[in-house]
Every structure is written in C-alpha cells, then in structure tokens.
C-alpha cells in the first residue's frame, strides 16, 4: 500500500520540486494582461467560491479566493522576463490563517496532495490562457490521483457518514408512515 501511495505521489512531488515557473513566448506585459482576465480552474466542484483578481504590482497577479466574503486562499503568480519576448510565470498558493475556515494554510501544509492539485490545476489554467488554447484538465489527473489516494480514508469516512445519514432518514420516514 505504501509503495502504491509513493508511486501515486511521485509525479506531483517531481512537479513541485522542479517547478520554478513555466516560460511562455509572450512579453511580460501581455502575459500580465492575459492573467488579469483568467478565472480559477474548475477544481472546487459545487463549492463555487468567489474570486477577486488583483494586479497592483507590474510583476504579480493575485487571485483571492473567498467564500461568503471570507478569504480562504490566494494564488500568487510572479512574472519575470525570461529573454526577449518571453515571460516566466511562477505560482504559489497561500491559505488564509484565520476566519470561519480557520487556518487554511496549516491544512494545506498538512495535506500537500490537495495543495498540489490546486496548484497544478491553476498552472494549467494559466498555460491554456496564455497559449490561447482550451483548458486541459487531464493534465491535473496525476495530482488528482495522488490527492485521492492520500485522502481515501477521509473519503471513506465521508461516504460512511452519508450512508448512515441516509439510513437514519429512511428509518424516520418508515416510522412516520407506520404512524399514519
């Protein structure tokens, strides 16, 4: 089992270790302009958070992810010249340290597979926007697999709780029918 987990996490660990940012064949100003209109990747499911894009610095674009008005996390893209007409885009993800969602930064640090999934999905969103092509979420599949394997216990627990709640509703419904 541990060997399977290691192999599932390996692609994500390699990307995280080697990633200093992708280089795109566009000038920095153009890359920044594109990123200022780039939305979040579809990794939040039905969660549908709000996003605010800030570009207060010439070499940085920040996506602030909020739910019910409270910050959960932020993606920070750092742009730098990587040669004539070329831009390097580095990306980091920082969780909020307070608010109703509590310490998201700590939870992301404790669950690096989820953090890597969010990062890989956003990196693909950025690449597709700058390259002018459709988003290819299959590029996030290795990170999705790693997150699934790493969180299978939590997933199983959630499913067990859902089944238990469903059974309790069914019992309550049957009891109410008997009373009639």
CATH number at residue 27: 3.30.310.80
Count structural domains, the chain. 1
Return the higher-pLDDT residue of 107 and 13: 107
Decide if 21 contacts 91 (C-beta within 8 A): yes
* pLDDT surpasses 50 at 6: no
The confidence band for 157, taking pLDDT boundaries of 50, 70 and 90, is: low
SS3 state of residue 133 = coil
- Name, in order, each residue with C-beta under 8 angstroms of 68's C-beta and a sequence gap of 6 or more: 100
* pLDDT surpasses 80 at 22: yes
Query: What is the domain range of residue 172?
Result: 2-179
Q: Which of 67, 64, 84, 59 is nearest to 75 (CA)?
A: 64
* pLDDT surpasses 70 at 10: no
């Amino acid at each position: 089992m541990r060997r399977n987990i290691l192999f599932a996490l390996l692609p994500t660990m390699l990307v995280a270790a080697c990633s200093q940012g992708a280089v795109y064949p566009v000038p920095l100003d153009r890359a920044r302009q594109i990123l200022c209109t780039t939305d979040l990747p579809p990794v939040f499911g039905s969660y549908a958070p709000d996003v605010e894009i800030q570009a207060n610095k010439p070499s940085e674009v920040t996506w602030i992810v909020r739910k019910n008005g409270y910050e959960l996390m932020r993606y920070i893209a750092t742009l730098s010249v990587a040669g004539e007409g070329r831009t390097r885009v580095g990306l980091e993800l920082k969780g909020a340290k307070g608010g109703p969602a509590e310490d998201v930064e700590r939870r992301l640090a404790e669950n690096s597979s989820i953090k890597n999934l969010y990062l890989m999905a956003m990196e693909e969103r950025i690449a597709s926007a700058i390259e002018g092509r459709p988003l290819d979420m299959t590029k996030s599949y290795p990170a999705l697999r790693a997150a699934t394997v790493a969180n299978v216990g939590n997933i199983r627990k959630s499913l067990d709780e859902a089944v238990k709640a469903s059974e309790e509703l069914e019992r309550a419904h049957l009891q109410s029918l008997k009373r009639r």
